[in-house]
Amino acid sequence: MSQAAVEVVGGSLWYRTQGMGPVLILMGGGPSNADTLAPLASRLCGDFTVVTYDRRGYSRSHASDPAGPAGPAGIPLHADDARRLVADLGSGPVAVFGTSFGALVALELAATVPAALGTVIVHEPPLGQLLAGDDRRPFDLNLDAEKDPAAALNAIAASVGVSRGRAADSATGQGSSPAGQGSTPADVELFIRRDAPAIGDYRLDLDRLRAIGGRIIVAGSRESRGFYPYQCAEMLARHLDTPLAELPGDHAGMIRRPDEFAARLNELLCSPALHVAH
C-alpha cells in the first residue's frame, strides 16, 4: 500500500494505492474520503490496483478555497481533479467505479476524457436532468435552511433510502467508518455547503458519452428501487441503451455489504464483453 499527492488547480489531491493488476479508481458518494471505501478496496485489491482518494478540500487533500466553487462548476472541477489523478498514475486507461456524487464525477470524466478510461461503472448517479415533475422534488432540498450539517446529511440519507444507525452513519460519513476513520465533521460541512448544492444544478452532456460506448455500466441497488437515484440510473441506462446492472444492498451497499458488493463489481469488471485496461 502506498500514498501520494497530485497537484490540481488551486490545491492538491491525496490518494492511496493498493493491490496489483488493472488500475481501478473508486469514487465515493456524499462526504466520503479514501478511508470510507477502504473495506471495499481491501476486497478488490487481490485483482486490481485499487486507488481511493480524498476529494479537494476533504481530509488530507487541500484547496486554496475549500468552500468554492459550488453550483454547476463544481462537478466538472472534481472531474478535472480526477483527470489529473489518472495522469499522475501513468498507467494508461483505467477502470472507474463511482457511486452517488462520485458517479456524477465519473460520468463527467467519461464525457471529457473517454480515451483515459476503460470500464466505467456508475452506481445510482443523482442526475436530476433525467427526471421531471414530482420525481425531481428531492433535488430541490433547501440545505441553507438547515443550520446543522449533520442533520442536513441525515435528511439526504433518508431521501435515498439509507436508514439511520451505525451502518447508516458510516455510509453517510457520520461517525466512524468500518475502516476506523470516516469523514470528519469538516468534510460533512464541506459536502453540505459546497458539493450537495452542485448536484441539482449539474447537467451532463449525454451525447458526449457516446464516445465511450459500451464501456459504461449503469447500476442500481436492489433495495433502492423506488428512490430517486435508482430512477436516475434506470433513465440513464435507457438513454445509453444498456441493461441496468443490479448490485447488493441499498444506496450505501458498498459500505454496508462490502463482501457481496465487491464480488458483484468483480463480475462486472471482469466480464469478457467489456474492456478493462491491463
- Average pLDDT in the 125-136 region? 89
- First-to-last CA distance in the chain? 19
pTM strictly above 0.95: no
Domain 2-269 sits in CATH at: 3.40.50.1820
Give the CA angle between residues 129, 74, 268 to the nearest 5°: 65
Return d(Cα 127, Cα 228) in angstroms, integer: 9
Question: Residue 55 gets which letter from DSSP?
Answer: P
Report the Cα 65 to chain-centroid distance in Å.
22
CA distances from 217 to 96, 222, 264 (A): 10, 16, 12
**What pLDDT, in 10s, does the model give residues 92-128?**
899 999 999 999 999 999 999 999 999 999 999 999 9
Beta carbons of 23 and 269 less than 8 angstroms apart: no
Return d(Cα 153, Cα 171) in angstroms, integer: 11
Question: CB-based contacts of 184: which residues, under 8 Å, 6+ apart?
Answer: 59
Beta partners for residue 123, in sequence order: 99, 219
Beta carbons of 100 and 251 less than 8 angstroms apart: yes
Beta partners for residue 94, in sequence order: 117
Beta partners for residue 174, in sequence order: none
Return d(Cα 274, Cα 200) in angstroms, integer: 31
Instruction: Say how many C-beta atoms besides its own lie within 10 A of residue 278's C-beta.
Output: 10
Q: In this model, does residue 139 exceed pLDDT 90?
A: no
Q: What is the pLDDT of residue 186?
A: 94
The three three-digit cell numbers of residue 64, written as one number: 486554496
**What pLDDT, in 10s, does the model give residues 168-220?**
344 444 333 333 347 889 999 999 989 998 998 899 999 999 878 789 999 99
Beta carbons of 117 and 108 less than 8 angstroms apart: no
Helix or strand run (H / E) with residue 31: none
The three three-digit cell numbers of residue 12, written as one number: 492538491
**What pLDDT, in 10s, does the model give residues 4-50?**
999 999 999 999 999 999 999 999 999 999 999 999 999 999 999 99
% of the chain exceeding 90 in pLDDT: 72
